[in-house]
Structure formats: C-alpha cells, structure tokens
Amino acid sequence: MRPGTISDVLCCRAFITAICTAVWLHGAAAERLDRGVVGVRRADGANYISWRLLAEDPPTVTFRVYGAAESRDDGTMLAELRDKCDFSDPTPGNRQYYRVVPVTNGSVLNSVGAVRIDQSTPGYVRIRLEGNYRAQKIGLADLDGDGRLDFIVKQPDFNTDPYQQPGYWKKSEDTYKIEAYRHDGTFMWRYDMGWAIEEGIWYSPIVAYDLDGDGKAEVFCKGGTNYWLYTAAGKLIGHTNLGDLSPKAVYWLEGSTKAYVVGQRIFVWPNREIGRIEGRVVCIADCIGDWREEIITALEGEIRIYTTTTPALFRRVCLMQDRLYRNDVAVQTMGYFYPPQLGKSLR
C-alpha cells in the first residue's frame, strides 16, 4: 500500500467526468419508477404517508387514499387529493393499512399495494446491513427492474485523504466491499474490491446507473489499476475503462424553501432546529414518497432513510425524473458528498 498521489486523484476525476459525460451524451433512458409510497408514524401519533407524482401522469390526476384495519380489506376512502401527494391520518384508531389509488376522469390508472403503519413503526425506514459495520457511500438505482430504487452500499467507513493535512495518510485496515440491497432491505450480493485499491474516498469511485437502458442498473467501480462493471444481478460484465464540508440543503419543508442538515440536526434558516437524525449523512435524494427529499444515514449495522412528515402545500413531479438531478444522485458515491441539484423546473 502507498500514499495517494496527485495522479490518483486526477485519474479518479477523469473517471467521474468520462462516465457522467457518457450518460449525458448518449441519453440513457429515464428509469421507470413506481409510486414510491412510504408510511411512517409521527411523534403526535398520526399516520403519515406520501407518494410520487410521475412525469407521465396526466395533469388531471387525483389520488384517493384508503385506510383499513386488515390488509385484505379495501378500506374506507379517507381523502381524494388534487393538489398534493401526502396525507396525514391524525386519529388512525385501528387503521394500519393504507392504499393510494391514482384516478383521472373517473378511471383508475393503476393499483398501488398497501403500506402498513402500526404503533411500532418508527419515523424512518431502516435497512439492516449484513454485519456490524458502517456504510461509507450509498448509491440509489433500480437493480431488478421493478420500479423501486434499491441501495448499493460501499463499506467499511474508512478513509485516507492525503490532501487534508500533511501526514494524514494511513495504511488501509481492510478492503472495500460493495453490497446490494433491495428497497425492502433484502440482501442481494456482495463483492470484495480487494487490496489493489486503497481505502480512500477519492480512489474508489462507484456509479450505479442504467447505462444500457434495459430498466436494470449496472454498477461500475474502479479499484487499483483495474475497473469492474457489474450487472444489476452482480454478474461481471468486463473491465472496460470508461475514463482514465459544509451544511447540506434538503427539500424537507412544506414548500420550495430548503432546510439544511448540520451534523445530526435539521434546521430552518437561520438556526431554528426542526428535527434530529442519527448516524452520518451519506446521501440526500428523492428516493421514496412525494417530491421532498430523504436523508440517508449510516449507523453501525444499518442504514436509515429519514423522510419528512410535514404536509406539503402542493404536488410536484418526482425529482429523480429530472435528468441533471438523477445524474447528481449517481455521482454522490464518488469523492466527497454533495446534495443533488435540479436541472429544470418540474411541474
């Protein structure tokens, strides 16, 4: 093992530039996303659910929300919403199952499976990892073509960066591993990147993106002097070389003004605290629910997906269907983390 050099970092930056340019110029097909319905329990005892407005939805679409005590029941219609994509049930009683049904001109577009919320449901989504380690990077992509965003984890959370200060470099303690988990936490596969790559955040970029437009994302990673391109199922495609700290803003409030995250606290400008999270922030993206973003954190043995429970003032198309935003999410797994930005105004 040796300390990183300027050429290592320049090579990594060239890799990042090349793969992002390839995705942009070749116009990879947009991912097919489902409704992304998510349900969490609010601190006041209310059940809160939210879902996606998709770019292909007609302007006249409305959403009917049904609640039931049993999963097999159709339930009672609690609301029909025209201007937002979230709903709070302040007095759920024995209601645990909620369905969202999109309707246009009296016709149902498609059916969405029920999401369950009970008294034990926390205010976040938990993904248990296959060991007592902490994730360093989290990628988001649909690995199996079901329209739901899955998780690509790089671990352990060890980093050496020769540019932070003289003498910062230290010998890698282990090898990086890349793991895949389905949206519901089901473990899919793991690959060991080996000792040819240092455990440095700049030396080991990965990209999860549907490069060939078949609806299932590929996972590309660089390690040492070689490159690996895997299919969504974890099959090695080849070794083709595709190209040789601050507060984090997040759509979290009821409107277009962003909140921001510092450490484990969420603030409204300038300094009003509105929430707390646990773990280190490794990703911010609109991965489930309505157009507001989720905050993904890494803890020992798990990752958590925090979603806002603040009712929205309006509805908006899923941010992941914005081309620049989606590319920004893809490159969050390379180098230091920066929140994604929108490339155009979505309705």
Q: What is the pLDDT of residues 155-171, one digit of tens each?
A: 998 876 665 555 566 77
Please tell me which residue, 296 or 256, carries the higher pLDDT value.
Answer: 296
- How many distinct helices (H) and strands (E) make up the chain? 2, 24
Report the distance separating Cα 192 and Cα 204, nearest Å.
12
Residue 131 clears pLDDT 80, i.e. is over it: yes
Secondary structure letter of residue 338 according to DSSP: -
What is the CA angle 214-291-115, rounded to 5?
80
CB 200 within 8 A of CB 207: no
CB 104 within 8 A of CB 27: no
- The reported pLDDT for the residue numbered 10 is 46
Report the distance separating Cα 116 and Cα 158, nearest Å.
36
Q: What is the mean pLDDT of residues 99-128?
A: 88
Report the distance separating Cα 212 and Cα 220, nearest Å.
12
Q: What is the mean pLDDT of residues 173-196?
A: 90
Residue-by-residue DSSP string for 67-111: EESSTTS--EEEEEESS-SEEEES--TT--EEEEEEEETTEE---
User: What end-to-end distance do the CA atoms of the chain give, in Å?
Assistant: 51
Give the domain 38-116 fold.
Answer: Immunoglobulin-like (2.60.40)
Question: Which DSSP helix (H) or strand (E) runs through 7?
Answer: helix 6-26
CB 217 within 8 A of CB 142: yes
What is the CA angle 329-111-303, rounded to 5?
35
Report the distance separating Cα 123 and Cα 276, nearest Å.
11
Please tell me which residue, 68 or 32, carries the higher pLDDT value.
Answer: 68
CB within 8 A of 95, min separation 6: which ones? 47, 67, 68, 69, 75, 89
Please tell me which residue, 199 or 127, carries the higher pLDDT value.
Answer: 127
Classify residue 10 as left (phi > 0), alpha (psi -120 to 50) or beta: alpha
Amino acid at 91: T
pLDDT in tens, 214-247: 888 888 877 666 666 677 777 777 776 544 446 7
Domain ranges of the chain: 38-116, 127-241, 244-346
Residue 275 clears pLDDT 80, i.e. is over it: yes
- The reported pLDDT for the residue numbered 114 is 87
Q: Is the peptide bond before 270 cis (omega within 30 degrees of 0)?
A: yes
- The reported pLDDT for the residue numbered 234 is 76
- The reported pLDDT for the residue numbered 214 is 83
Confidence of residue 21 (pLDDT cuts 50, 70, 90): low
Residue 206 clears pLDDT 50, i.e. is over it: yes
Q: Which two tokens stand for residue 202?
A: 């700049």
Residue 22 clears pLDDT 70, i.e. is over it: no
Q: Which two tokens stand for residue 142?
A: 């649909």
Q: How many CB atoms within 10 Å of residue 147?
A: 16
pLDDT in tens, 288-346: 999 999 999 999 999 999 999 999 999 999 999 998 899 899 988 877 778 898 886 55
Collapse the DSSP code of 319 into the 3-class scheme (helix H, G, I; strand E, B; otherwise coil) and give the result.
helix
Across all residues in the chain, what is the average pLDDT? Answer: 84
- The reported pLDDT for the residue numbered 265 is 92
Residue 27 clears pLDDT 80, i.e. is over it: no
